[in-house]
Structure 1
Amino acid sequence: MSITLDAPVAPALAGLALSDAIADITAEIKRSVVLIGQNGSHGAGVIWRSDGIVVTNRHVLHDDRVEVILDDGRTLTGIVAARHPDRDLAVVKIAAEGLPAARLGDSSTVRPGQLVIAIGHPPGLRSAATAGIVVAAGQAATLEGPRTGDWLQTDVTLRPGNSGGPLVDAQGGVIGINTMVSGRLSLSIPSSTVERFVAGERPGDPHAWLGVTGLTVPLRLSGHAAGYLLTEVAEGSPADRAGLIVGDIVVAFGTVEVVDNESVPAAVLRLNPGEAVVLAIVRGGEPRQFTVVPTERA
């Protein structure tokens, strides 16, 4: 479903067409929205893959098993397969096939002023819809200070029970996962970030560990707009044994380049313990390469 208005259109007819389009989009996407219940509380989730992969917020989950209620009324047991190490994201696996997976939109093309719809389960309601516009893409002011590169900021209304639900564009594609309220605005994690997490996570597989801590920084180097500045290298870790030091800037993990805040966790999630990976490094302004063999995270 896509919202298009042929000009010229009388204002009343235009409003009617917009209203019908929002209702159609809501009816389509609600099939992919689940209710996740646990210990008397609940939140929302989105069917991300038709084979039972559901995405929600990490803060919605308190235990490793949850109750998942589908739009068709079926109640299934969900197993928490993965929690993002840094973002408020988690993957829940349910034993079902052929589910109505949400259609994904392109969050990288979102612009301020675009129409969006949020779906969730506020108290006393199922699959309730609220509409608004994008206020800012890629930046947000939070209690911890300004955040850039990893949020969609909108004026849609979010209430308890909306957490983990989808933010949908005017074409009916999911462009974000609704996460929190900051002041009078709502923050959603972009769908591109969510997809990298889901694609990189292998539920049940061991997690690879490099032993580094750092932060993403902008670079003024040819071919590299950003890098991961190492602020700590654990003694005796795989990175330490390979020769990495504090102050090194990682610009690529194997074939995955560092381009934004999500590149590093997405790249690390793709690594396998015991399988060597070549890290492209900038040290003292000079490019270097180091081969690191990750170990299994304890």
Structure 2
Amino acid sequence: MKKIVSLVLISALGGVLTLGAYKLFLEKENTVVVESSQTTPAFFPTSNINTLFNTTEAPDFVKAAENTVNAVVHVKNVAVSSGQMSLQDYFFGTTPSPQYRLGTGSGVIINADGYIITNNHVIKNAQKLSVTLNNNKTYEAELIGADDKTDIALLKIEADDDLPFVTFGDSDNAKIGEWVLAVGNPFNLTSTVTAGIISAKSRDISGKPGQTQSFIQTDAAVNPGNSGGALVNTNGELIGINTAITSQTGSYIGYSFAVPSNIARKVVEDIMEYGNVQNGVLGIRGGTFTSEFAEKENIDYSEGVFVDEVIKNSGAEKAGIKPKDIIKRLDNIEISKFEDLSGYIKTKRPNDVVHVEVERNGTRKTLKVKLSSTDAFTVNFIKMELQDLTDSFKEEYDIEYGVMVKETNNKWLYSNLGITEGYIITGINDTKIESIEDITKLKDEYGDDILDNIKKLEYINRRLERKEVIFR
């Protein structure tokens, strides 16, 4: 047995020695070659900043919310409308019972004396107004004034003690990407605070020429009942009045819009001082400068507002602004689109001076424009607002004289003759109408009886067709 084991061990040892000798002295060395690529990797700008935010650096909304919720109120309005006639009312000649409708919204206390800013649509047609504070105290409210164009209204309540209020911030200094809070009473849920960022500025959602809006757009959640509430920055300063939402359901799905605080403050100051809103007018017609428009005009593309026409007798005309100028800046505000211009002008009054930087033929110059009042170059006549034709308009359309309908609330003329914005009145009672001065003379001559004394009207429609109507 021992001989067998020894034989096995000797055989194994011999195999190991033979294999080792072969590897060491007889086997050829195989060299492995690795080819390296000489292509340079693409370069992408990369930030070395740690993207994990420290929780101590996250925005703190607590102080801003605490300072705002007590100054945001719940506004309730009661509107009364006549009820529909029933069959019983027709038979017995009775009057239907009035119907009461309750509307709700929000408002912001803007000083300790109880002045409250809200939206015009929150209090429109109200027969009775009440305001409930965050401490559940309720007061009757008085409507001081309202402006339909900016959708701003001013209320007043009488309280025994000074009231908490929110101070105005400068909405011109608000930045896209800045954190904001929306505070209001959605769905009758009082003192609700939501957070978001400013998504855009100078946003127009009207889609109507001549009625340009200039909203602050935010993604803070705003729902029915938030209207008239506060949009504040992280310092608790009022930078907007929440006004509208864009939604297919009527509730929040994405973006909300606020009237900038600089516009809202100017409106309420005008209401308190003058009883109405004092609108300053630059005196130009134009639009946002686009590359397509630049190609049509054969000029280099540039951001700004392209001046299409300069209104006769306006501050812009007197200052030397000309058609085809490109407005680049108003005072210290960069002008990229028409909404920037209209939003800034809405913070100004007639006779305010604005420094207008224009680009003309590749060079820039700054002109001092004294803003006009609309009364300087428009006149109200039979529920229409009329203005003079510019020289460039007359030349382009070969029209010698007339005044243009800027706005109209005359439903009879529209329904029966189609007269609306853009029509041109050329004659009344066989008198040639060359300017708004001729309209003013007619008003002075006939006074309140002007409608009864119009026997003949001559006008040009939008298709440049001349029309003549005789009233019998």
Partner in structure 1 of residue 107 of structure 2: 45
Question: In the alignment, what sits opposite 1:29?
Answer: 68
- The one-letter amino acid paired with 2:119 is N
- Alignment match, 2:140: 77
Q: Distance in 2 between matches of 1:207 and 1:147?
A: 19
State the Cα distance separating 1:117 from its structure 2 match: 0.7
Among 144, 149, 152, the residue aligned to 2:216: 152
* Contact residue 138 and residue 150 of structure 1 kept, 8 A: yes
Match of 2:233 among 159, 163, 169: 169
Would the aligned equivalents of 2:271 and 2:277 in 1 still touch at CA under 8 Å? Answer: no
Task: For CA contacts below 8 A with separation 6 or more, give which structure has more relative contact order.
Answer: 1
Q: Deviations over 1:6-27 (max 9, x none)?
A: x999735237x53xx2133212
Q: 1:189 aligns with which of 252, 259, 262?
A: 259
For 1:71 and 1:109, how far apart are their aligned partners in 2?
29
1:171-194 Cα offsets, whole Å, 9 max, x none, are: 211100000012431110000001
Give the partner amino acid of 2:220.
Answer: V
**Paired residues of 2:239 and 2:261 also in contact (CA < 8 A):** yes
1:111 to 1:218, Cα distance in 2 relative to 1, 3 A: farther
Does the CA-based 8 Å contact 1:168-1:174 persist in structure 2? Answer: yes
Q: Which residue of 2 aligns with 1:236?
A: none
1:188-267 alignment, distance < 5 Å:
188-202=258-272, 207=276, 217=285, 247-251=312-316, 260-261=342-343, 263=345, 267=349
Contact 2:198–2:219 (CA under 8 A) maintained in structure 1: yes
2:112 maps to amino acid: S
Whether 1:14 and 2:56 are equivalent positions in the alignment is yes
Q: For residues 115-161 of structure 1, what are the alpha-carbon distances to aligned partners after superposition, in whole Å with 9 as ceiling and x for unaligned?
A: 11101111241111111111111123445479867210111111111
Q: 1:24 to 1:279 in 2, by over 3 A?
A: closer
Aligned counterpart in structure 2 of residue 119 of structure 1, from 168, 175, 183: 183
Conservation of the 8 A alpha-carbon contact between 1:226 and 1:251:
no
Does residue 107 in structure 1 map to residue 171 in structure 2? yes
CA distance in 2, matches of 1:103, 1:195: 10
**Residues 135, 86 of structure 1: CA spacing in aligned structure 2 closer, same or farther, 3 A cutoff?**
same
Distance 1:146 1:119, change over 3 A: farther
Give distance in 2, aligned partners of 1:278 and 1:167: 30
Maintained 8 Å contact 1:37/1:67: yes
CA contact (8 A) 1:152 1:190 kept: yes
User: What residue identity is the alignment partner of 1:32?
Assistant: A
- Give the structure 1 partner of residue 193 of structure 2: 129
Offset at residue 41 of structure 1 (A): 2.2
2:62 is aligned with what amino acid?
A: A
Between the two proteins, the alignment pairs up a number of residues equal to 244
SS at match of 2:110: strand
**Which position in structure 1 is the counterpart of 2:120?**
58
1:88 to 141, 151, 155: 151
Contact 1:226 1:260 in 2 (8 A): no
Change in Cα spacing, 1:51 to 1:266, as seen in structure 2 (3 Å) is farther
Select the structure that is richer in helix: 2
Q: Distance in 2 between matches of 1:209 and 1:32?
A: 27
The structure-2 alpha-carbon separation of the partners of 1:25 and 1:216, relative to structure 1 and needing over 3 Å to count, comes to farther
Task: Note if contact 1:200-1:267 (Cα within 8 Å) is conserved in structure 2.
Answer: no
1:207 positional shift: 4.8
Work out the CA distance in 2 between the residues paired with 1:48 and 1:87.
18
| Rg (Cα) greater in structure | 2
Q: Quick one: which amino acid aligns to residue 13 of structure 1?
A: T
Q: 2: distance between equivalents of 1:147 and 1:191?
A: 19
TM-fit CA distance, 1:278: 9.7
Counterparts of 1:267 and 1:146, CA distance in 2: 18
Higher strand proportion (structure 1 or 2): 1
- Coordinate RMSD, CA, aligned: 4.2
- Alpha-carbon offset, residue 31 of structure 1: 1.1
1:179 maps to which of 236, 243, 250: 243
The Cα offsets for residues 242-290 of structure 1, whole Å up to 9 and x where unpaired, read as xxxx7332359xxxx996446468526x9xxxxxx995989989xxxxx
Q: Deviations over 1:75-99 (max 9, x none)?
A: 1110111111411110001113521
Amino acid aligned to 2:217: Q
* Distance change in 2, residues 1:147/1:157 (3 Å): farther
Partners of 1:111 and 1:191 in 2: CA distance? 14
* Paired amino acid for 1:88: D
Structure 2 residues not aligned, in runs of 5+: 1-48, 79-101, 248-253, 288-304, 318-329, 332-340, 353-369, 378-387, 392-447, 449-472
Give the direction of change, closer, same or farther, for the CA distance of 1:151–1:98 in structure 2 (3 Å limit): same
